[in-house]
Amino acid sequence: MQTLEVSLSVPVPDGMTLINSIELKELKETVSRGSVKNLKWFQDKLGIYSHDDIREVVLIPYRDELDIEFGGCVVYPERSGQPYKFLQNKTEEWIEQNFHKINWRRK
């Protein structure tokens, strides 16, 4: 078997820094911690763009898990006209852990 040994230099542009993937993940988590998002963000995250569908497929069936009142990550509106509010990092965790439970074959 032949082997080839190579030495390579790659310039890193000014203003750029190389970091390992673990550090990058930790930085992203730090940035999203405490960040509050809206319903459009949640719809974009799941790719469900109808307000009715996102409510019927996720927000209503999983309210006991998602509602901040029960230890979840979503502030549900108390009356018509109030917005949903999503704690970004906790919502992203919930999506990762529960992706398989969402009814993706809705009508």
In tens, the pLDDT along 84-102 reads 999 999 999 999 999 999 9
Closest CA to 18 of 10, 28, 8, 30: 10
Q: Which residues are within 8 A (CB) of 48 and not within 5 positions of it... i.e. 6 or more apart?
A: 54, 57, 58
The continuous run of DSSP H or E covering 66 comes out as helix 63-66
What are the residue boundaries of the structural domains of the chain, listed by start? 35-101
Instruction: Count CB neighbours of 67 within 10 A.
Output: 15
The Cα–Cα gap between 6 and 19 comes to 23
In tens, the pLDDT along 24-72 reads 777 776 766 778 999 999 999 999 999 999 999 999 999 999 999 999 9
